[in-house]
Amino acid sequence: QRPSRKKMKLLQEPGQEGEALLITCDQVVVHEGRILEKPETAEEAREFIAGYARNPCSTVGAVAVTDLGTGRVELEVDEAHIHFTPIPMDTVDALVEEGEVFWCAGGLMVEHEMVQPHVTKIEGTMDGVMGLPKARVLGLLSKFY
């Protein structure tokens, strides 16, 4: 919840005129009791991705909608659990070499064509896993109108 609130506060200017809602969100991956953010090194990315076969990982994301005129904030947390079969090391190496994993919490890219064959089960929604749970956003927006 803190990163979503922190992002919201950076953009919020109290007392703005007119109707404007700001949507902010952030996400981490939780795996084996550790909070995983974006990998900082190739070694860390390999460790994260290869480890997902040992135990399911979870995405935990917070979405905040802020009325910039009043400062009112509505916030929800979304969680999903992802199960994998082992991802071969040559696939892990290719993902790291490609570089996109460095932009994702935990290096987690379930939508990637090299990763999809190894996803056996998702408990939650794909858009939630990817960081923007549409149903939660719509639910939060409905609280303002």
Q: Is 23 helix (H, G, I), strand (E, B) or coil?
A: strand
- Contact predicate 106/43, CB 8 Å: no
Chain centre to alpha carbon of residue 61: 5
Closest CA to 16 of 53, 86, 71: 71
Torsion sign over Cα 80, 53, 29, 127: negative
The catalytic position among 26, 78, 90, 127 is 26
Residue 26 is among the residues annotated as catalytic for this protein = yes
Residues identified as active-site: 26
